[in-house]
Chain A
Amino acid sequence: MRTDDLVGVLSTGITPVKSGTAARRFGVSLPVAAIGAALLMATVFGLRPDLSVVVRTAIFWEKLAFPLCLAIGALIATVRLARPGARVGAGWPVMAIPVVIVWTAAILIVVTAAPQDRLPAILGRTWRSCPFNIFLLAIPGFIAIFWTVKGLAPTRLRLAGAVSGLLASSIATVAYCFHCPEMSPAFWSIWYVAGMLLPTALGTLLGPKLLRW
């Protein structure tokens, strides 16, 4: 078929394109990510028994704000990178600031703690399982967000895969906060970040394969 004929095929019988495709697709995948992570958290791990007590403390909300801010930054970045030719822009600072704040708090805590309290503050009681638990909760969102992004014609597949993985895992971490008993920023700064980086790394690896169009 000659190129002119292809032009004819493509332009014949077109119908108006509906706007808001990106919003519609994210409108499916974000609820899947959030509800999927919440259900998995509730069934596999269970709500923490003292939840009604800790929700009245400031530190619980600070902990929740950490992955939530990261999720907002990752969402900005993912929405942009999902489409051809867009840049991350404002997504970078929104993703970086919460990490910087938590790391600053973590360093302050570790430095000011008595030497014998330092390691327990970092390791908590659940450091072995925490990153993998977050990874598990991120799976539904990971699949749904990759589906969304692929349909929006991304052109920088590795980066788009990375931020998609981060978006899924930061949403998963918000859900995990309702189970996780750890209340020290020193713990979050290592193990929450590790939990969020696992799906990010997986997204970086799989982006060029799964997002290709």
Chain B
Amino acid sequence: MYSAEQRLKALFVTGLAGNASEYRSFLCELTRHLRGYLRKRIPQLHDDVEDLIQEILLAVHNARHTYRPDEPLTAWVHAIARYKLMDFFRTRARRESMHEPLDEHDDIFAESEDEPADARRDIGKLLGHLPDKQRLSILHVKLQGLSVAEAARLTGLSESAVKVSIHRGLKALATLVRGIA
């Protein structure tokens, strides 16, 4: 548990500084922890786990500017995961699920599961609902792996407009995901 906090925090902080491979490792490991955490929290809603993981990953990514390195990453991630879980319960209006025991934030890294199930919604398809500017910026930089400069040339946008479009696009995506979940 202690080591998970340290290892994940190290990966995340380097990721914030712009190191993509460390950030990727962080997200992969976080995914496994979330899978373990959620499968235990909502065993009766097994089919929703993968959707929720994706929603939480997007939320963590979109809120990553709010993390301060002087606080435990565990508490920060747990707050987001729990918030999204509660939001999920509310959206579903499944009253019986509101009575899930509230757990300690330590639990978030306590378990880890590797095998993914299928997500019910397709984030790839949701991308198609974004405005062109956002969709193309995400497509070029995030899916095709082009640099921001190359994406700017292809789309005719400025480099900072590409960055802003990616940022807004991922936020819009999180909203779309939330609406459908």
Contacts and interface: CB of A to CB of B under 8 A. Distances in A.
Interface of A: 1-18, 21-22, 82-86, 152-153, 155, 212-213
6 contacts: A1-B125, A6-B58, A12-B20, A17-B18, A18-B65, A153-B62
A9 B79 contact: no
A198 to B, nearest CB: 27
A2 B170 CA distance: 16
Nearest to A11: B24
Interface in B1-28: 15-18, 20-21, 23-24, 27-28
A149 to B, nearest CB: 11
B20 A13 contact: yes
A3, A18, A22, A83 — most chain B CB neighbours (10 Å): A3
A211 to B, nearest CB: 11
Contacts of B122: 1
Nearest to A9: B142
B48 interface: no
B31 A13 contact: no
B98 to A, nearest CB: 14
Interface of B: 15-18, 20-21, 23-24, 27-28, 31, 50, 53-54, 57-59, 61-66, 68, 71, 75-76, 78-80, 82-83, 87, 105, 116, 118-119, 122-125, 138, 141-143, 145-148, 163, 166, 170, 174
Given A6-B54, A13-B20, A85 B79 contact: yes
Given A1-B119, A6-B123, A84-B63, A13 B79 contact: no
B178 to A, nearest CB: 8
Contacts of B145: 12-13
A85 B76 contact: yes
A150 to B, nearest CB: 11
A14, A18, A21, A83 — most chain B CB neighbours (10 Å): A14
Contacts of A212: 87
Contacts of B82: 155
A15 B141 CA distance: 11
Contacts of B65: 17-18, 21
B112 to A, nearest CB: 14
A-B pairs, top 8 by smallest CB distance, nearest first, are A85-B79, A153-B63, A16-B18, A11-B24, A84-B79, A1-B124, A155-B83, A13-B141
